[in-house]
Amino acid sequence: MHIVVCIKQVPDSAQIRVHPVTNTIMRQGVPAIVNPYDLFSLEEALRLKDRFGGKVTMLCMGPPQAEDALRKCISYGADDAVLVTDRAFAGADTLATSYALAAAIRQIAKEQAVDIVFTGKQTIDGDTAQVGPGIAKRMGLQLLTYVSKIVETDLDARTIIVERRAEGGVQVLKTALPCLVTMLENTNELRFATLPSMIHAAGFPVRKWNREQAGIEDVSRIGLKGSPTVVSKVFGPTPRSEKAEMLELDTSSLRDVSLNLLQKIFTRHPTLEADLLMKGTS
Amino acid sequence: MNAPTVPDRKPAAPARRAGGRNLELPEHLKAYKGVWVFLEHDLGHVHSVSWELLGEARKLADKLGSDVAVAVLGGPDEPLEQFAAEAFGFGADKAYVMHDPVLLGYRNEPFTKGLTDLVNRYQPEILLLGATSMGRDLAGSVATTLATGLTADCTELNIDPASRALAATRPTFGGSLLCTIMTLAYRPQMATVRPRVMAMPQAQAGRAGEIVQETLGLVETAIVTKLLDFIADANSNRINLPYADVIVSGGKGLKNPENFRLVFELARVLGGEVGATRPCVQAGWVDAERQVGQTGKTVRPKLYIAAGISGAIQHRVGMESSDVIVAINTDANAPIFDFAHYGIVGNALQVLPALTQAFADHLALRGKAAA
């Protein structure tokens, strides 16, 4: 079984700060990590490899330093890693990104046919959840998003059954390989990297492909040129004019503060009290 | 109130150069007219996010001087015409209705074909979908098939006066900044919006529209993916955070997962739901369904009580449209106090039980008085 897992290197958003005056991102010192959602897909791919044997190939598009993210995945047990990196990819939106990744997957498939492509549910920096579906459509792969469980994989019959999180319930879907899967978060727990595998990863030769090596001839489909969306403005959130009305604890008891707060809440939102009483009776 | 974005600053039309891209709308795409909403429904009901989108679609169409239409796809016996009639009440002028056996229960392939065909046939200039598990799955597929721009999770939709393009504003970098995105040279312009980000519009009784019946032209044998079963969530397990009236949320200031019971107790007294910040969810203190914020749910309850939450921007973007926000935090300088309505500087572990008792006593007293 040959599985391709697409990942993205992202800034750790929990540590991003915005300069209060200039409204620009303060990137200095913000560590780059593997997009956390991608790791659920990586773990699922590794579990399939554990069961069926075969190979997990990692794929990432990004600047040269994204190599570190791929090495990290090698340390968890992936077998091969391709970094698609070229200045021509700069400025790509999700449409152009899925074009480039689909092209690279076709190149990878020339070496060995691909059974399943995994991507993360979404990234934590872009949050669009569009690249997975985009790759699937471009490659004609069956699309299985928000998968909470892979129920059954039959390599002889070339079928897969999964549970997919939908609104108000879970869909049980059966489809044919090859397919593209995005895993839901918290559906598995990523294994630990062992010391020998970390040493192996540190020296691992990540393959770096430029545009031509990724099999892309038409430069109008990639990077900024291949991106229909245009960012017209970036700005900071507006600070609220009014600050919170503070209720002092030191001058009164907790009980008094609580009752005072209730009165203020119900005065500010006149229908809320009636709503709460309705809930109480129903 | 507390609009999450800047309402009045108009996005400037970008310079028409940007990396050698053509940013002029080609002649053949100028025929694209009208604002569409994809009507999402399950279990016999239209998802509220579709009505919220219709409210926005109406405003956009009025600015453009064009019409609003909905696309609604479903099985042969599903009440799509009834959904269409409801949509007219919320501001739609037209409904493209597609019944087909293969459209019973969402699957990517037939829905992508159905919606893509409708767009190619009727050429709307704007297409809006809910950022739900269905809407995101479908939007990404349709946008790729149509090779057009799609902006996800928008918090504000407007028309750029210079280009008359859709100016879609969304949080970026984990909510630290906002950006306005336009699709200038491609049509339709697609955008998704998360549930509860836009306000629910008022339905107008007696407002009518035109229903256009459409056919899909796809047989079951041609579809690779089969829907074997649908396991509905048990009502007791269903956490409907986005539409809760009251939410009590906890953050890392609660110190440990056991203390979350104080949050649950207050929520129970108020008949509300329990929310949490991302760090709490990542630490496994509460279910991921309870996460409020940029990578969790967007909520706009009547009352939001934040206990031990500092108010990081990633959390703020998910809850700042709440009617009344109460914050309890030991740190007087916590950013949460910049956008809460009422603040208590104190230990949530002490304040929560006092607040729970006060609410319980007050509601019992008022309940008796009313009875």
Look up the CATH number of the domain holding residue B274: 3.40.50.1220
Both A71 and A174 in one domain: the answer is: yes
Q: Is the pLDDT of residue B330 over 90?
A: yes
Q: What CATH number does the domain containing B162 carry?
A: 3.40.50.620
Q: Is residue B21 part of a domain?
A: no
Both B199 and B105 in one domain: the answer is: yes
Both B217 and B253 in one domain: the answer is: no
Chain segment A150-159, per-residue pLDDT in tens: 999 999 999 9
Both B134 and B33 in one domain: the answer is: yes
Q: Do A172 and B134 touch (CB under 8 A)?
A: no
Tell me if chain B has a CB within 8 Å of the CB of A232: yes
Distance between CA B190 and CA B150 in Å, rounded?
5
Q: Look at residue A168 in the predicted model and tell me its pLDDT.
A: 82
Both B56 and B148 in one domain: the answer is: yes
Q: Do B238 and A130 touch (CB under 8 A)?
A: no
Total domains in the fold of chain B: 2
Distance between CA B242 and CA A276 in Å, rounded?
18
Phi then psi dihedrals of residue A125, to 5 deg: -95, -40
Share of chain A above pLDDT 70, in %: 92
Report the number of secondary-structure helices (H) and strands (E) in chain B: 8, 18
Range of the structural domain that residue A275 is part of? 240-282
Q: Do B270 and A125 touch (CB under 8 A)?
A: no
Tokens of B187: 């049509």
The C-alpha of A241 sits at a distance from chain B's nearest C-alpha, in angstroms, of 9
Distance between CA B51 and CA A128 in Å, rounded?
22
Chain segment B22-80, per-residue pLDDT in tens: 788 999 999 999 999 999 998 899 999 999 999 999 999 999 999 999 999 999 999 99
Tokens of A18: 């915005």
Total domains in the fold of chain A: 2
Q: Is residue B255 part of a domain?
A: yes
Side chain identity, residue A135: I
Size of interface A-B (CB pairs under 8 A): 314
The SS3 assignment for B316 reads helix
Q: Is the pLDDT of residue B356 over 80?
A: yes
Question: Quick check: B62 and B68 in contact, CB under 8 A?
Answer: no
Q: Show residues of chain B in contact with A237, CB under 8 Å.
A: 4-6, 177-178, 313, 316-317
Both B110 and B169 in one domain: the answer is: yes
Closest residue, chain B, to A243 (C-alpha):
B338
Both B162 and B289 in one domain: the answer is: no
Q: Look at residue A125 in the predicted model and tell me its pLDDT.
A: 82
Both A23 and A88 in one domain: the answer is: yes
Closest residue, chain B, to A229 (C-alpha):
B183
Domain boundary among the residues B222, B256, B274 is at B222
Tell me if chain B has a CB within 8 Å of the CB of A93: yes
Residue B9: pLDDT band with limits 50, 70, 90:
very low
Both B264 and B357 in one domain: the answer is: yes
Q: What CATH number does the domain containing A100 carry?
A: 3.40.50.620
Both A115 and A254 in one domain: the answer is: no
Q: Is residue A231 part of a domain?
A: no
Range of the structural domain that residue B64 is part of? 27-222
Q: Do A134 and B338 touch (CB under 8 A)?
A: no
Task: Tell which phi-psi region holds residue A90, choosing left (phi > 0), alpha (psi between -120 and 50) or beta.
Answer: beta
Both A169 and A280 in one domain: the answer is: no
Report the number of secondary-structure helices (H) and strands (E) in chain A: 7, 15
Share of chain B above pLDDT 90, in %: 81
The residue-averaged pLDDT of A22-48 equals 87
Phi then psi dihedrals of residue B12, to 5 deg: -75, 145
Q: Is residue A226 part of a domain?
A: no
Q: Is A130 exposed, middle or buried (0-12, 13-18, 19+ CB in 10 A)?
A: buried
Both A35 and A93 in one domain: the answer is: yes
The C-alpha of B69 sits at a distance from chain A's nearest C-alpha, in angstroms, of 23
Q: Look at residue B43 in the predicted model and tell me its pLDDT.
A: 85
Q: Show residues of chain B in contact with A136, CB under 8 Å.
A: 141
Q: Show residues of chain A in contact with B266, CB under 8 Å.
A: none
Share of chain A above pLDDT 90, in %: 75
Q: Is residue B17 part of a domain?
A: no
* Most confident among A9-23, A121-135, B243-257 (mean pLDDT): B243-257
Q: Do A254 and B179 touch (CB under 8 A)?
A: no
Both A266 and A172 in one domain: the answer is: no
Q: Is residue A190 part of a domain?
A: yes
Q: Is residue B288 part of a domain?
A: yes
Q: Do B183 and A169 touch (CB under 8 A)?
A: no
Q: Give the residue carrying structure tokens 């100016």.
A: B167
Q: Is the pLDDT of residue A48 over 50?
A: yes
Chain segment B159-197, per-residue pLDDT in tens: 999 999 999 999 887 677 889 999 999 999 999 999 999
Domain boundary among the residues A171, A188, A221 is at A221
Prior bond of A178 cis (ω within 30°): yes
Q: Look at residue A282 in the predicted model and tell me its pLDDT.
A: 54
Distance between CA B155 and CA B179 in Å, rounded?
10
Both A36 and A124 in one domain: the answer is: yes
Both B217 and B247 in one domain: the answer is: no
Question: How far from the centroid of its chain's Cα atoms is residue B347's Cα?
Answer: 33
Q: Do A230 and B345 touch (CB under 8 A)?
A: no
Q: Show residues of chain A in contact with B185, CB under 8 Å.
A: 228
Both A68 and A150 in one domain: the answer is: yes
Q: Look at residue B13 in the predicted model and tell me its pLDDT.
A: 44
Q: Which of B259-296 are b and which e, b meaning 16 or more Cβ less than 10 Å from the residue's Cβ?
A: bbebbebbbebbbbbbbbbbbbbeeebbebbbbbbbbb
| Triad A266, A267, A271: Cα angle to 5° | 55
Both B215 and B316 in one domain: the answer is: no
Q: Is the pLDDT of residue B85 over 80?
A: yes
Chain segment B103-152, per-residue pLDDT in tens: 999 999 999 999 999 999 999 999 999 999 999 999 999 999 999 999 99
Q: Is residue B20 part of a domain?
A: no
Distance between CA B94 and CA B237 in Å, rounded?
37
Q: Indicate the average pLDDT of chain B.
A: 91
Q: Is residue A197 part of a domain?
A: yes
Both B203 and B272 in one domain: the answer is: no
Phi then psi dihedrals of residue B220, to 5 deg: -55, -40
Tell me if chain B has a CB within 8 Å of the CB of A161: yes
Q: Is residue A230 part of a domain?
A: no
Distance between CA B149 and CA A62 in Å, rounded?
21
Side chain identity, residue A144: L
Q: Do A166 and B341 touch (CB under 8 A)?
A: no
Both A260 and A158 in one domain: the answer is: no
Q: Is residue A229 part of a domain?
A: no
Question: Quick check: B164 and B24 in contact, CB under 8 A?
Answer: no
Closest alpha carbon to A69 in A120, A131, A18 = A120
Both A24 and A86 in one domain: the answer is: yes
Both A251 and A192 in one domain: the answer is: no
Q: Look at residue B1 in the predicted model and tell me its pLDDT.
A: 37
Q: Do B105 and A23 touch (CB under 8 A)?
A: no
The whole-model pTM stands at 0.88
Distance between CA B218 and CA B112 in Å, rounded?
12
Higher pLDDT, B99 or A238: B99
Both B212 and B345 in one domain: the answer is: no
Q: Look at residue B151 in the predicted model and tell me its pLDDT.
A: 96
Distance between CA B273 and CA A35 in Å, rounded?
29
DSSP summary character for residue A92: -
Span of B9-13, B81-85, B177-181 with lowest mean pLDDT: B9-13
Domain boundary among the residues B194, B222, B250 is at B222
Q: Is the pLDDT of residue B18 over 60?
A: no
Side chain identity, residue A218: D
Domain boundary among the residues A187, A221, A255 is at A221
H/E segment holding residue B217: none
Alpha carbon distances (Å) from B54 to A241, B46, B60, B118, B203: 30, 12, 10, 18, 10
Q: Is residue A247 part of a domain?
A: yes
Q: Look at residue B288 in the predicted model and tell me its pLDDT.
A: 86
Q: Look at residue B8 in the predicted model and tell me its pLDDT.
A: 41
Both A205 and A266 in one domain: the answer is: no
The C-alpha of B83 sits at a distance from chain A's nearest C-alpha, in angstroms, of 18
Q: Is the pLDDT of residue B218 over 60?
A: yes
Both B133 and B92 in one domain: the answer is: yes
Tokens of B161: 């006066």
Side chain identity, residue B138: L
Q: Give the residue carrying structure tokens 């492909």.
A: A209
